[in-house]
Amino acid sequence: MTAITSASGPAAGRATRISTRIAFFIAGFGMAAWAPLVPFAKSRIGIDDGLLGLLLLCLGAGSLITMPLAGALASRFGCRMVIVLSTILICLTLPLLASVSSLPFLVVTLLLFGAGVGAVDVSMNIQAIIVERDHGSPIMSGFHGLFSFGGICGAAGVTALLALGATPLIAALAVAIGVVICLAIAARDLLPYGSKSEGPAFALPRGVVLFIGLLCFVVFLTEGAILDWSAVFLTSVRGLDNAYAGLGYAAFAATMTIGRLTGDRIVSSLGGTRVIIFGGLLAAAGLLLAVLIPSWQVALVGYALVGVGCSNIVPVLFTSVGKQQVMPESVAVPAITTLGYAGILVGPAAIGFIAHGASLPIAFGIIALLLLGVAASGRLLKV
């Protein structure tokens, strides 16, 4: 079974590259818009933190279930159809997440919302691989940079609307309208085809695809750790006031976004192999800096370094999927995306167990060791 290394349609031009960037922005914007609405959903349903944690797993479960299906559908019907339909699903479910007051209904809605997010994620990355290959030079980091930028805009935009007195439903509707406008601009130039493939629509990752997926798992685990545990580390270990606990993730997200938006030039200059090696080393150094030096200011610098280091590793790994010949892209992309999401979902929980049994600094230290493993793996991939 081999992956086809050329797109099944005409070469992707400038308009298609722009539409791909918009698709990545939509994915980040729509997904991040949910985060500021979580406390409102919690109070509306009347649940405690424990049940909320289980409830939030529904989003990830919906994504993980849909990802393999999205790859098969993109191969059969084209990236455009999957991106458009899954984006519409996000727009329909987001206002419901901001208004439903029934726990079973919220569970179903979160599953559907997660399904839309997962399907967009897979189909836009398949399109990105095809477009980058046709372009002939590195542009994957820029695509992922728009996802990060969309995430910042989504979270900040909803937060601003809520602060100005908008209800959660109005804020969610505003996001949905914005997403529909972006989709209308991009839809015409999205690819009406996907990666050609032969063989089964679903398959377990193997060979180099499994290896790439495991590296994605580590990097996404790192992102999940910073998202869920950086504030806890700063307050409980470094003594920072709760009001400023979000600075850790802000430092990480800012440098990651900047790193990705400038990453195409970096990858072109250094090459994918060096990006993985130096990125893994830099991210590991950032975590060790935060753990070993007892200063919250230094911890912020460390988180910023983690953002810089991790920023372009995943885009380079997705590029390497387009160069491997072990599995078709329509199967390989969902496989590594699923493993990456598993890192976000499982990683923070595992860190909690380690922190409970040992300490949070030790848990961060283990992640730093895993990142050193990512750096050491850089020379083994065709990037």
For the cut 80, the answer to whether the pLDDT of residue 200 exceeds it is no
pLDDT tens for 221-234 read 998 888 778 888 99
pLDDT at 228 (0 to 100): 76
pLDDT tens for 290-331 read 999 999 999 999 999 999 999 999 999 999 988 888 888 888
Q: pTM of the prediction?
A: 0.83
Domains along the sequence of the chain with CATH = 14-189 (1.20.1250.20), 207-380 (1.20.1250.20)
State how far the Cα of 235 lies from the Cα of 244, in Å rounded to an integer.
Answer: 9
For the cut 60, the answer to whether the pLDDT of residue 12 exceeds it is no
Q: Per-residue pLDDT averaged across 356-361, rounded?
A: 88
The most confident of the ranges 29-43, 258-272, 337-351 is: 258-272
Cβ atoms of residues 207 and 335 within 8 Å: no
pLDDT tens for 138-197 read 999 999 999 999 988 988 888 889 889 999 999 999 999 999 999 999 999 999 988 765
For the cut 70, the answer to whether the pLDDT of residue 26 exceeds it is yes
pLDDT tens for 98-154 read 999 999 999 999 999 999 999 999 999 999 999 998 998 899 999 999 999 998 898
Residue 102 C-beta-side C-alpha neighbours within 13 Å: 5
Place of tokens 């005409």: 10
